[in-house]
Amino acid sequence: MRLTLADWLVVALYFLFNIGVGLYYKRRAGRSTAEYFLSGRNVPWWLAGTSMVATTFAADTPLVVTGLVARNGVAGNWLWWNLLASGMLTVFFYARLWRRAGVMTDIEFSEIRYAGPPAAFLRGFRALYLGLLINCIILGWVNLAMAKILQLVFGISKGQALWIVVGLIVLTSAISTLSGLWGVLVTDLFQFVIKMGMVIVLAVVAVQAVGGIEAMKAKLASGGQGSVLSFVPDVGSAWMPMLTFFVYIAVNWWATWYPGAEPGGGGYVAQRMLSAKDERHSLLATLWFNIAHYAVRPWPWILVALASLILFPGLPDPETGYIRVMIDYLPSSLRGLMVAAFAAAFMSTIATQLNWGASYLVNDFYRRFVRREAGEPHYVLASRVATALLTVFSAAVAFRIESIGGAWKLLIITGAGTGAVLLLRWYWWRINAWSEVSAMIAAFVVSVLLQTVGGLDSDRPLDFAHIVLITVAVTTVVWLAVTFLTRPESESTLVAFYRRTRPSRTGWGPVAARAPDVRPSTDGLANLLDWVAGCVLVYGALFGVGKLLLHETRPGLLLLGLSALAGGVIYRDLSRRGWKTVVE
């Protein structure tokens, strides 16, 4: 794809803006680690929520969605659509609790919920495991996606593309290192507008290239791909048997840990909740994130993916269909903006992952176990060094990863079974640090043994379902057994946590009896109603918009009406309960 001087000028202006933001927030970020990692806990909901959306809109996302649609039809997106239920749990049951916890990172939570050497081990282990190993895997697949894009756009080799990616990582790292979370948030907002606008433009262009929606539907049907438009898998579908679909909608969303969709919240989602102004902003940020993530963004990607099946049938790597549509059909006047949009998608994710990963390495490992009594300037410097190290490691990982979708499934499988303990640790006093440690170990060991000794393959739908079900069952038995075979946390630790976060009294009876002055949360049933309404709101909007785009007007309007009704239920309930500003 040839870029004109005007295209290069657009790309250059995009990079200059990002550098300007980094320089603008440099002094503010250098004040303390709270400013560097949490923006002083003063972020409004719309900025925090949009930043979450921008982070999950990486360069790899449109490519993965295109691959899912090419192999499994629209319904293939249930691989990630099912996680909405977990996201809505975070909105109504956990967002306010996270904000009350007042920790720097979600890993620091380990030492306010638990105590002693087990809690310290859990915190240190998770800091290195998630902040370094898992974070570099995530960064690696994002880097690989950007390399694929550059290979096709500029007609270069994978090695050459990866070196350009390394340059982009270094630039992003420099901006993130200078500006901390404030710079990440502001550039995320700018980047989200660019990339969302351009994927919508590309969707319009792609549909026009195949002759319109009706022509697209007819061509897919004539090519034997009529079921590709189905929103749910056909009964007996080879690619998603009913057992696999059941695992997605009934097990995976609550039982599996996955970055950005951690049961109960975690990672950069928890970081944004912790950075919010108060409990109200924390809840609204996560609500907006789930609406935008699942209902606003998918259809521009899906329409391009469907068009690519017609325009480029039989691609050996169907994920590249998205880029090929851009190269061959996007007007030359918009190519610079599209390149900038992909750069934005790449940089927003990289910036967040670097800042979030550095927060684990510095706050939860270096500051906790290596250098405990240094001043804030020292820890800010350490944060910048950690960001630079993650940049180097993630670039190295990119040269090793071959499949983006494979990396997604790897994390889903190895995190299976840990979700229950992450959800219940807020609502059941009996869980201790060994519960979490045993769940992590059991999930990893069982999933690996099933794939090596057991011969199961996560790329085969039925095998994937069996791996998840067996891993969840075994892991649950293990961590429950460990919980009852080990001592509970000390009374002082439990009472302090109960006072700090004020969870529901239901699972904290013995502890609540020792703190009768605390007024715990009593809105469990209301939260449950809001959770159901939230899922209806988003799925109704997602499928309603899809029906309208496919010219199925009546069902589309009915689904949108149901979505609006569910939104009204949430608004009425939250307004009825009112909001109480947290006094720090």
Lowest mean pLDDT among 9-18, 20-29, 376-385, 560-569: 20-29
User: Which amino acid does the sequence have at 208?
Assistant: Q
Asked if 390 contacts 355 with a C-beta cutoff of 8 angstroms, the reply is no
- Helix, strand, coil distribution of the chain in percent, nearest 5: 75, 0, 20
Complete DSSP assignment for 291-322: HIIIIISHHHHHHHHHHHHHHSTT-SSGGGHH
- Residue predicted with more confidence, 336 or 409: 336
118 CA to centre of own chain? 28
* Mean pLDDT confidence for 532-554: 96
Nearest Cα neighbor of 325 from 204, 504, 480, 458 is 204
The C-alpha atoms of residue 304 and residue 291 are separated, in whole angstroms, by: 21
Residue 91 has a pLDDT of: 94
* Interacting residues of 350 by C-beta distance below 8 A, sequence separation 6+: 139, 142, 168, 169, 172, 173, 176, 394
Secondary structure of residue 453 in the 3-state scheme? coil
Given phi > 0 = left and psi -120 to 50 = alpha, else beta, which region is 433? alpha
Residue 535 has pLDDT above 50, yes or no: yes
Residues 6 or more apart in contact with residue 24 via CB below 8 angstroms: 179, 183
- As a whole number of Å, the end-to-end CA separation of the chain is 54
Q: What gap in Å lies between CA 177 and CA 170, rounded to an integer?
A: 10
Highest mean pLDDT among 60-74, 93-107, 531-545: 531-545
Cβ–Cβ < 8 Å for 353, 139: yes
What is the SS3 assignment for 276?
strand
Neighbouring CB atoms inside 10 A of 242's CB total 13
The Cα 49–Cα 359 span in angstroms is 19
Scored b (16 or more CB within 10 A) or e, 408-430 reads bebbbbbbbbbbbbbbbbbbbbb
Side-chain half-sphere CA neighbours of 104 within 13 A: 23
Q: What are phi and psi of 43, to 5 degrees?
A: -95, 130
**pLDDT given at position 582:** 37
For residue 12, pLDDT over 90 is answered with: no
Average pLDDT over residues 455-463: 82
What pLDDT is stored for residue 448 in this prediction?
Answer: 83
User: What is the Cα 497 distance to its own chain's centre?
Assistant: 27
Residues 213-247: pLDDT tens digits? 999 999 888 866 557 888 887 766 666 788 888 88
Task: Identify whether the C-beta of residue 506 lies closer than 8 Å to the C-beta of residue 427.
Answer: yes
Evaluate if residue 471 carries a pLDDT over 60. Answer: yes
Distance CA 482, CA 437 (A): 10
Greater confidence, 425 or 28? Answer: 425
Confidence of residue 114 (pLDDT cuts 50, 70, 90): very high
* pLDDT for the residue 485: 96
pLDDT in tens, 348-397: 788 888 888 888 899 899 998 998 888 888 888 888 888 888 877 777 77
Phi, psi of 416, rounded to the nearest 5 degrees: -65, 135
560 alpha-carbon distance from chain centroid: 25
With contact defined as beta carbons under 8 Å apart, do 346 and 58 qualify? yes
286 pLDDT higher than 90: yes
Average pLDDT, the chain: 86
Any bridge partners for residue 195, and if so which?
A: none
Task: Give which of 375, 267, 388, 389 is closest to 30, Cα–Cα.
Answer: 375
Among 62-66, 123-127, 338-342, the range scoring the smallest mean pLDDT is 338-342
pLDDT of residue 398: 63
CB-based contacts of 561, cutoff 8 Å, min separation 6? none
Cα separation, 201 vs 584, whole angstroms: 45
497-521 per-position pLDDT tens digit: 999 999 988 899 999 999 998 888 7
Q: Tell me: pLDDT of 403 over 60.
A: no
- pTM equals 0.87
Percentage with pLDDT > 70 across the chain: 92
Residue type, 334: L
Cα distance between residue 405 and residue 111, in whole Å? 35
Other C-beta atoms within 10 Å of 406: how many? 12
